Amino acid sequence: MIHLSAAAVVEISRLKARHPDPHALFRLKVEAGGCENWYYTLAFDSKIAAEDSIWNCHGVDVTVDSQSLIYLDELTVDYSEDLMGGGFRFNNPQAIASCGCGNSFSIDPSLLKR
């Protein structure tokens, strides 16, 4: 399951209101790369695959592909603003390390064998 903070819900809803496709879903994905082997990507997507999982988190539909799901179980996405601007923050209980920017992480390799 994926969790969104109230601030993340507000920001995602604001961004979605500006998106040209009002039916697009918020997609959360993990891709290889970054300082710690994996990084998060956020996007709006109109294409849903049969293996995608979709959760409704406080009115926001969150879509995750089956390959990313193993890395994101119990992930909490937050949004905050500071003097440098706003950004999404990720609290991933499966991460064993993360880089300074907070977007790149590594997990215990044994999780990949499940």
Q: How far is CA 13 from the centre of its chain?
A: 14
* pLDDT at residue number 22: 87
Domain count, the chain: 1
**What is the domain range of residue 65?**
3-113
CATH code at position 68: 2.60.300.12
pLDDT in tens, 63-86: 999 999 988 989 999 999 887 788
Q: Is the full-model pTM beyond 0.75?
A: yes
